[in-house]
Amino acid sequence: MGNLLACFAPPPAQQQRVLKSGSTRRYSSNRWMSSNSRNRSTRLDKLDDAVIREQAIAAAILYKQHQQNAVSGGLLPFDRSTSLRYYPNNNNKNNNNTSSSSSANHLRRSSSTRARSLTDPLLKPQQLILNQDVNLDGLETTHFVLVHGGGFGAWCWYKTIALLQETGLKVTAIDLTGSGINSFDTNTIASLSQYVKPLTDFLENIGNEDKVILVGHDFGGACLSYAMEMFPLKITKAVFVAAAMLTSGQSILDMFNQQADSDDLMRQAQKFLYANGNDHPPTAIDLDKSLLRDLLFNQSPSKDVALASVSMRPIPFAPVLEKLSLSDAKYGSVRRFYIETPDDNAIPLTLQQKMINSSPPERVLRLKGSDHSPFFSKPQALHKLLVEILKIPST
């Protein structure tokens, strides 16, 4: 918005003119200025005012066009300038038809002359992918439902939401009970069913024909499994992203107990909360803010680490202890996919692979260089894998 604001900036209060003699005089304060010089000054001031008015009108028109297009799903919101995004050889990026092959070979471009910051977490050069249209014809569903992990909220998916929507897909991000902007007190959550209720309520309220793809991260993997057991006919695929993919009779606590190193970073970061008193079991688990970067965001941009540090909430303890009851007829009927995160310090790759070997999914994909939070550290690559999974046909 910097360029836009500059258009409305007032002209300098004083302007200087260097005379032939080399002395400096001010238009506004030189009482000895000749009438000819004053007339020239007036004309210059009027010219400056006219230029500023033209710039202001142009900026206002541009902003009005942006608002109108935003309502109709056209342009994206402004980033940090008034630049426009162009989609070469594709006038409508939401068009369901497959674009020409030449359009797939162009990167997104900006009309701004300002170089885009290399610290922009959404558009790091190494993360840029081709602007490929997705043919939505014949797909079982185009609706993704994103389920956050322990301590997170729907806010953590903001990059993934934007990228999927740009592709023309429908996206719903859930705030589980006591998470994100859900006002429920985390310390009073007594069961996994209570924790997952916003997700199960959502699935219960959609029609039988409105199938979805579930994407779960971290603790959200257990929530996916719970929902798959309840609503297998409404879920076409389930994607576990650095997530707990448990077997029947297993809990989140059981999963973490598989880690051989008792001094791992996760244990160091955990702080148990005792809302009912120290003589009662813990009610929630908080994470040491000083260890968040090393534990969850070791490859993520600083801006996203800062966002998480002020947005994360405690994890309810009771659901961590609850063992899942999963059946082959229901849970087992939903197609599963797992996305590995090799640089993960919260659920290390070795632990991810143990879960994969215990209950093999249909396909395993890997996000090279990703920490535990690929929606921050590898948003473009994660988006590409989700679209790839979307397009895998029914067997």
Q: Active-site residues: which are they?
A: 218, 344, 372
**Helix, coil or strand: residue 333:** helix
Amino acid letter, residue 251: S
Amino acid letter, residue 87: Y
| Rounded CA separation 146/340 (Å) | 17
| Rounded CA separation 212/164 (Å) | 14
| Rounded CA separation 271/314 (Å) | 9
Q: Give yes or no for a contact between 221 and 240, defined as CB atoms under 8 angstroms apart.
A: yes
Q: Residue 89, by phi and psi: left (phi above 0), alpha (psi -120 to 50) or beta? A: left
| Rounded CA separation 326/213 (Å) | 19
| Rounded CA separation 41/157 (Å) | 56
**Residue 72: which residues within 8 A CB-CB, separation 6 or more?**
none
Give Cα separations from 325 to 238, 248, 283 (angstroms): 17, 5, 23
Cα-to-chain-centroid distance, residue 57: 34
Task: List strand residue ranges (DSSP E) for 57-210, in order.
Answer: 85-86, 109-110, 143-147, 170-174
Q: Give yes or no for a contact between 92 and 65, defined as CB atoms under 8 angstroms apart.
A: no
Question: Whose structure tokens read 């929630």?
Answer: 284
Helix-helix angle 158-166:379-391, to 10 degrees:
50
